[in-house]
Amino acid sequence: MINKSNILIFISDQHSPGISEFDGGIARTPNLNDIAKNGTVFDSAYTPCPLCVPARMAFMSGRLPSKTGILNNYSILPDTIPTIAHAFAAAGYETVLIGRMHFVGENQSHGFQHRLVGDITSPEWKPTKALNEKTRGPFMKCFDETGCTNVIGGGLSPVQEYDEAVITAAVEWLSYPHEKPQFIVVGTYSPHFPYVAPLDKYRYYLDKVDIPWGFREPPEYLDPALRIRLERSCRDEDVVIRARAAYCGMIERLDEHVGTIRNAFAVY
């Protein structure tokens, strides 16, 4: 039998590369820097859709959203569409999903033989207010664009706690011996809003971030409807500074998670 290499894919969420050091940003990212230096960086890559579920399901299926029919975050990937997890399982791999993938609907596997740590977002087509209140508490209204700046700062959040659980589960899985080659996907929710980072990291970036170039005067090429939304949204520069500081802090913490998983995978 031909030996097959173990494969691990780490997927973060709402992660802008331009904030990291390796791409000229101010966020301290030594682990990502090292991967970029010794690996391959795609500087012309683009998403098949600027929305979570359509993009993720395109990644999983290898098909554009126009082919899957998934065009919003409440769409379900049909069980009849095979995924890369099915392909790796057929090739003799043990397929493992640890953490976030944003599957919607009853099927939360789609070819993964193991699913560790469920998703932070509800698998229901339309999550109820009661469910969101139970799982998100005071952060309930911070998980969408309209309320994402309701809570900003340093401290703990459901996102941080979720990611800690994902990383812990992944390290534990990698500590076990396995008979089959591994195809593992580790998914975190960071650095997705709400904009709350570990306190020390939040404070570090407060005097290092600035106002983005398009904040005061949105560029003319923006869609008129989007321009109106931006103009009606928060125009407080202090909010922008604090949100960007928290975002950088979340990226730094994510980089630490990347290092933890990389080290665990390297000795596997």
The answer to whether 114 is a known catalytic residue is no
**Among 102, 110, 192, 257, the one annotated catalytic:** 102
Rounded to 5 degrees, φ, ψ at 32 are -65, -35
What is the amino acid identity at position 227? R
The answer to whether 52 is a known catalytic residue is yes
What is the amino acid identity at position 87? A
CB atoms within 10 A of CB 107: 13
The distance from CA 193 to its chain's CA centroid, rounded to whole angstroms, is: 10
Rounded to whole angstroms, the Cα distance separating 248 from 171 reads: 24
**Among 52, 142, 148, 248, the one annotated catalytic:** 52
Rounded to whole angstroms, the Cα distance separating 233 from 211 reads: 15
Q: In sequence order, which residues have a C-beta less than 8 Å from that of residue 207 and are 6 or more positions away?
A: none
Rounded to whole angstroms, the Cα distance separating 56 from 136 reads: 23
Rounded to whole angstroms, the Cα distance separating 71 from 66 reads: 8
Q: In sequence order, which residues have a C-beta less than 8 Å from that of residue 265 and are 6 or more positions away?
A: 6, 8, 174, 184
Whether residue 181 has a cis bond before it, omega within 30° of 0: no
Edge-to-edge strand list for the sheet holding 114-116: 7-11, 182-187, 94-99, 114-116
Q: Hey, which residues are catalytic here?
A: 52, 102
